């Protein structure tokens, strides 16, 4: 489940604080909403996920999936602000 995944990845980062994959996976779990586990759905925290994806990319500039998620979140946040 989402909350279990968040707890697990936080534990991973306590043991391996320089793990780009750990930050990426934590961000992905936080990005999921609590309803139907939809990305950026109700209950998600896209701003926090964005910070974590950026940290993952900082640690591993080759992590293309993090770069894609950053672009997707920034685009969605801009769209929401334009409303």
Our measurement of the distance from residue 47's CA atom to the centroid of its chain's CA atoms, rounded to an integer in Å, reads 9
In the numeric block, which tokens belong to residue 55?
Answer: 């940290």
- According to the model, what pLDDT value does residue 43 have? 85
User: How many other CB atoms sit within 10 Å of the CB of residue 46?
Assistant: 22
User: What is the residue-level pLDDT of the chain in tens, covering all 83 positions?
Assistant: 889 999 999 999 999 999 999 999 999 999 988 766 677 888 889 999 999 999 999 999 999 999 999 999 999 999 988 97
d(CA 15, CA 27): 17
């Amino acid at each position: 489940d989402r909350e279990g995944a968040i707890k697990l990845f936080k534990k991973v980062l306590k043991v391996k604080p320089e793990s780009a994959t750990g930050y990426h996976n934590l961000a992905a779990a936080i990005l999921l909403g609590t309803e139907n586990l939809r990305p950026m759905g109700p209950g998600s925290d896209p701003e926090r996920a964005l910070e974590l994806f950026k940290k993952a990319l900082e640690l591993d500039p080759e992590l293309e999936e993090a770069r894609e998620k950053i672009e997707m979140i920034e685009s969605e946040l801009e769209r929401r602000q334009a409303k």
